[in-house]
Structure 1
Amino acid sequence: MIAFKALIAILFTLLFIQSVTPLATRASQTVADAVNVIRSQQGLPLVNDNPTLDTFCYNYLYDLAKGTKTDLVQGNELISELAAVGYYASWAGMAGSKGYTPEELVYSLYQNPDTYPALVSNALTDVGAVDYIASDGTEYIVSVFAMAAGPSNTKRAVNLADAFGVDSKFAAKSGEDPSITNWNVGSL
């Protein structure tokens, strides 16, 4: 019994240490790594690393977070979605003010959605996915990427869901056709 209590005490101590470890020491990873943190927890297939994409997103998200860019990349839908994460977080005042790097920002958003209540709530409301997220957390990652789509273009959310190998039926709540899944994610 004493040994059991000691084990529990050790576990709680380890959890506490992890909880107070600075974000910067836990999240120095690529965009793909940040995505895979959540996918691995949900038992979903992992995405492949893409150094070129990571470098581009890092630089672009950094500019967005520091307020030196306000537009989204046109042409590459995935980069637009990643850039939107940085844009919305910057808009919410949670990026440059805390000195997060883009990867840390993405990681923190996935790991701690309650850190950005207005950001996450508004984004999920825009794609009409709040109820579905509440009942099935495996769809959360797609909804974060879909935040850039907005209510006027939920088909992008459907396509992103398909691209990341996640069931896209959540987008049906917005009245879109979940069978539209022909979006090309390239090498990712």
Structure 2
Amino acid sequence: MADTGLPPNWEVRHSNSKNLPYYFNSVERTSRWEPPAGTDSEKLKHYMAAHHSAGSRSGAAPGVPEGKIRAAHLLVKHRESRRPSSWREAEITRTKDEAMEIIKAHENTIRSGAASLGDLAPTESDCSSARKRGDLGYFGRGEMQKEFEDVAFTLKVGELSDVVSTASGLHLIERLE
């Protein structure tokens, strides 16, 4: 087996839902997105380049699955959202108008340069992707809600969307790759 540079009992696995590699401890039966403490980052970098990249496709950016993009978002839910609860609040009672005021304030903060979407998402987003700075990983057509997807695929890398409304709530989307 190739040397991953990971500490004992850790291995690299691949998340089919996020299409991203993650780290799994076979003894503790725990997983995480970030490499565990004690990882030899140089060895891991070489292992990932050899085993978890898509560089064999001509014309494709290394590591980017064909036909897929990567985006992050900040989600503000409201009481009409299809699931009006989140890791931040067990029951979300704000109105859609109140949610719009909140997300517009976040949009102004991001556009002013005072903070990035990735800076705000960990504390302000109602999506579980908050713990990854809003990063949703790679996704293709048909994997996200249509309104979200239609906007995400039109963004240039590094570009921030206007507010997007879906059944989940109100989103700001940033194209990462």
* Fold agreement, TM-score > 0.5: no
| More helix per residue | 1
TM-score normalised over the length of structure 2:
0.29
Taking structure 1 as the reference length, the TM-score comes to 0.28
More strand by share: 2
